[in-house]
Amino acid sequence: MRFFKVCIFLLIAYFISGCANVKQIERGRMATKIMQLEPQPEEAKFLNSVNSYREGAAGGSSAVGGGCGCN
């Protein structure tokens, strides 16, 4: 648990203190579908559910495991 807490603290501290390194005018590509973190959110919802009930792991992109008797 200590490992997780240290990782989270360092990540949050790093990002919040980060300077603005990409200006608005430079973000043209970020708006395209190929640059989205999840380009197909509706399709991903079902795939993530399958992962959560066919695998011991959950969290992150996968569903957290509630909502159906699948697992």
The helix/strand/coil state of 33 is helix
Do residues 52 and 58 make contact, with C-beta atoms less than 8 angstroms apart? yes
Is 6 among the residues that bind another protein (CB under 8 A)? no
If you search the block for the tokens 């959950």, which residue do you land on?
Answer: 58
Is 50 among the residues that bind another protein (CB under 8 A)? yes
Identify residues 14-33 at the interface with another protein (CB under 8 A). 15-16, 18-24, 26-30, 32-33
Buried b / exposed e along 47-58 (16+ C-beta atoms within 10 A)? ebbeebeeeeee
Alpha-carbon distance of 59 to 52, in angstroms, equals: 8
Identify residues 30-49 at the interface with another protein (CB under 8 A). 30, 32-37, 39-40, 42-43, 45-47
Residues lying near another protein in the complex (CB under 8 A) are found at 1, 4, 7-8, 11-12, 15-16, 18-24, 26-30, 32-37, 39-40, 42-43, 45-47, 50-51, 53-62, 64-69, 71
